[in-house]
A and B are shown apart, each in its own frame.
Chain A
Amino acid sequence: MEVLLVSLLNGLVYGMLLFMLASGLTLIFSMMGVLNFAHASMYMLGAYFAYSVSRLIGFWPALVVAPILCGVLGALIEMYALRRVHRNGHIAELLFTVGLAFIIEKSVQMAWGLLPVPYRVPPVLDRALFHVYGSNFHAYRGFMLLISVLMFFAIWLLLTRTRIGLVIQAALTHPEMVGALGHNVPRVFTIVFAGGSVLAGLAGVIGGNYLVTEPSMAATMGPIVFVVVVFGGLGSLAGCFIASLIMGLVQTFAVVLDVSFADLLARLGVTVTSSTPLAELLTIPLPRVGALLPYLMLVLVLLIKPRGLMGTRDT
C-alpha cells in the first residue's frame, strides 16, 4: 500500500515534468508541423543555464532567468534559421532540428565538460516534506509538482482567456484559415516556438537537479517526450496531458513492481525453468522492461489509432 502511494506521487511528479516538456513540443508540432528534435536540447540547456546562473546569483533568480534565456534562443532559432529552412519542406525542417540537437549536445560538452555538473537542489527544499508510511516525501518533489501545476494553469488561462491564445488554438487545427483571416502567422509561430522553449527550459531548471544534469540528458529525455506527444495525439493539449501522466505512472510503476511472466505463470501453477521454451523472455523482470514500455505503447497506439489518443489531425 505505501509503495503504491509513494509511487503514485513520484509518477505524478515525473508525469508533470514530462507534460512541461511535451506541451511545448505538441504546440510546435501541431502548429508548424515540425517534429522538433532539438526540444529536449532546450530542456538540457535550461538545466545548464540554471546551474551557471544559480552559481552566480542563486537558484530563485535562475528559475526565471534560465527559461527566458532558452526562450530568446528559441525565438532566434525560429526567426533566423527555421523560417528559411521552412521553404525546403517539412523533412528539411525536421533534419535541421536533428542537426541542431547534435550541435547543442556537443556545445554543451565543450562549454561544461563531459561529466555531470553538480547542480543541486536549493538547501531550503532539501528536506522531507512529510512522511507517508515511514517513507519520506521530498520537499523538492512537492515544489516541482507545485511549479508544474501552476504552469499548467498558466498555459490553460493563456490559451483560453487571451486573444493570442485563441489565435494559437485556432492555428493548431486550421493554420491556413488563421493566416487568411489576417493574423500574422509567422509571428504566432515565433511566439509558440519561443514559448515552447521557455517551457522546456523551465522543465530543465526544475528537472536538472531532480535527475542529473549531464550532456546525455537530452538524448535520454528526447525520445520519451516524442512518445508522449505522438501518443497523446496532435493538436490536443488534453491528450498530451493524459499521455504525460500515463507515461510517468507507467515508468514509475514498472521500476517498482518486481514481477515477470514467470511469476504470473507460477501463480497459475506453471513453473518456468531454463528448459522451457522462451524462458529468457518469460523470466525478464518488469523493471528491466520499464525503459521499453513507452516505445511498445507508441508502436501499438500508432497501429491502432494513427492519430494518437485524442488527436484531431493526422500525424
Chain B
Amino acid sequence: MSEGVVGTTATPLAAGRAGGLVRRQWPWLATLAFALVVPWFFFDWTTGRHSGFVVAMLSQIGIMIIFSLSYNMLMGQAGLLSFGHAVLLGLGGYVTAHVVTASKAGGLPLPLEITPLVGGLGGLFFAILLGYFATKQRATAFAMITLGIGELVTACALMFQTFFGGEGGVSTNRMTGHSLFGLSYSGSIQVYYLIVGWTAISIVLMLLLTRTPLGRMANACRDNFERAQFVGYDPRLVRFFQFALSGFFAGIAGALYTLTYEIVTYDTVSAPMSANALLMTYIGGVGAFAGPVIGAVLIVLLQSWVSLLSNSWLVYAGVLFILMVTFAPGGIAGLVQMHGPIWRAGRLGRLAGPYLRLLPPALLVMLGFVLVIELCSFLTIGAAQGKSLTVGHVTIDPRGTVPWIAAALLLGAGGLWLRAAMRGFAAAWSAVTDEIKAAGARV
C-alpha cells in the first residue's frame, strides 16, 4: 500500500486559533450545525411536537456514526477485520442499562449525561478482556476469533438471566431524575441532543487519536507489520490498544442505544449488528476518516426509508454492497477523493456533461432492477402477506406478463445504453486526468 491510502491528512490541529479551525474543519462544523437544527425542519407547529420518525432516525444515525467510526479504528486504521464488533456495543449497552436502573433506584446519583461514559468504560473493560485473546492473532485468524466471540456472547446473552435478561433483554427507564442541566429526558428530542453532543465528542476524540503515535503505528502495522516490528514496536500491543480504545467508543454507542430505546436485547450483540458495522464502514469508505460517517448516514437513511417502501431492502443493500466492493473498493469517500485532484485543477466542470449523460441510462437500469425485484417479491412474500403492488394509484399485477416484459426491456435497453455511456465517460475521465498530469509536468 502506498502512502496515498493513509486517510487522514497530517496537518496538525490548530488548537487555540479559532479562525484556522473553522477554515480547516468547516465540513465537520457545518454537519454539526445541520444536526442541531434539522429536527426543527420537521417540527409540527400545530401540535407543537417533533416528528417522532425523524427524531428516531436521526438518533439512530448518531449512534451508528460512533459505532462505525469505532469499527473503522480496527478495519480501516489497523487493518483488523472483525466479525464481532457488535459485542462491544451490546455489552456497553447492557452495562448502561444496569447502571441507569441502579441510578433510578437511588443507589448512585449519576447524571444521565455522564452515563455514556459508563457505557464506554464497560465497552473498554470487555474490549480489554476479549481483546487480550483476540489480538494475539492478526488477519484471518483474528477475524475468525472475533466471529467465534460474537457467536459465543450471543449464545450467552440468550442463556443467562441475571446480566443479559435472556431473550427478553434488559429494560430500563432513562428518567432517573439526575441531570446536570435539570432535564427530565422524557421526550426523545432531549435524548437526540444528548446523542449529538456525545457523537461530536467521540468524533473529535477519534480524530485526535488518529494523530497520536498509536494511531500512526496502527497504520504502520496494517501496511507492514514486520517493518513495524523492526522499528521496535510490538504489533500485538498496538493491536491490543487499538482494540481496547475502539471498544470504548463502541461502548459509548451502546450506551446511547440503551438511552434511546430503554431496552437492550441480544440483537445488539448478534451477528447482524456486526454485519451492519461492516456494511456502513465499507460503503462509506475505509480509507478516509470521514468515510464511516457518510456510510452510517446513508445506510440508516436507506434502512429507514427503503424498508418503509419495500420488503426487499436487504437485496438492495446487498447489491449496493457488491457493486461497491467490485467497482469502488475505496467506498464513497474513495470516490470523492478520486475527484480531489480534478477539483483542485479546476477541471471538475468538464466532467459534468459526461456525468449527466450517465444519469438517464443508470436510472433506467435501476428502475428495471427495482421492478424485477419488487415483482418477484410480490409474487411470493407480498402474496403471502396479502399486499398488492401499487405505484401511485395504479395497481400492478405481478402475475401479468406486461410488467415483466417492461422490466426486461428496461434492464436490457438500459444496460446496453449504460455500457455505451460508460465508455464515453471513461474516455472523458482519462482525457481530463491526462491533461492534469501534463499540466503538472509542465509546472
Contacts and interface: CB of A to CB of B under 8 A. Distances in A.
A81 interface: yes
Contacts of B148: 227, 295-296, 298-299, 302
A96 B325 CA distance: 6
Contact of B325 (A85, A114, A289): A85
B325 A35 contact: no
Interface residues of B, number: 43
B267 interface: no
B377 interface: yes
A299 B137 contact: no
Interface string B341-380: 0000000000000000000000000000000010011011
Contacts of B373: 110
Interface string A261-290: 000000000000000000011001000110
A151 interface: no
How would you classify the secondary structure of chain B's contact residues: helix, strand, loop or mixed? helix
Given A102-B314, A110-B312, A292-B155, A299 B133 contact: yes
Interface in A219-272: 223, 226-227, 230
Given A89-B329, A102-B317, A102-B321, A110 B152 contact: no
Contacts of B159: 284, 288-289, 292
B243 interface: no
A106 B312 contact: yes
Chain A: interface size category:
35 or more
B162 A280 contact: yes
Nearest to A102: B318
A76 to B, nearest CB: 14
B283 to A, nearest CB: 10
Contacts of B140: 35, 315
Contacts of A102: 314-315, 317-318, 321
Contacts of A298: 144-145, 147-148
B145 A99 contact: no
B147 A303 contact: no
Nearest to A35: B140
Interface in B119-160: 133, 136-137, 139-141, 143-145, 147-149, 151-152, 155-156, 159-160
Interface in A82-105: 84-85, 88-89, 91-92, 94-96, 98-100, 102-103, 105
B381 A302 contact: no
Contact of A94 (B81, B160, B315, B326): B81
A315 B136 CA distance: 13
B161 interface: yes
A113 B383 CA distance: 10
A303 B136 contact: yes
Contacts of B282: 95
Contacts of B314: 102, 105-106
Contacts of B318: 99-100, 102-103, 106
A105 B35 CA distance: 36
Contact of B278 (A92, A96, A98, A306): A98
B180 interface: no
A157 interface: no
A110 B377 contact: yes
17 contacts: A88-B329, A89-B329, A92-B329, A95-B278, A100-B322, A102-B318, A106-B312, A107-B315, A112-B380, A114-B381, A280-B161, A292-B156, A295-B147, A295-B148, A295-B151, A299-B148, A303-B133
Q: 5 closest pairs, A vs B, by CB?
A: A102-B318, A99-B321, A103-B318, A88-B329, A99-B322
Interface of B: 81, 133, 136-137, 139-141, 143-145, 147-149, 151-152, 155-156, 159-162, 271, 275, 278, 282, 312, 314-315, 317-319, 321-322, 325-326, 329, 373, 376-377, 379-381, 384
Interface of A: 35, 81, 84-85, 88-89, 91-92, 94-96, 98-100, 102-103, 105-107, 109-115, 223, 226-227, 230, 280-281, 284, 288-289, 291-292, 295-296, 298-299, 302-303, 306, 314-315
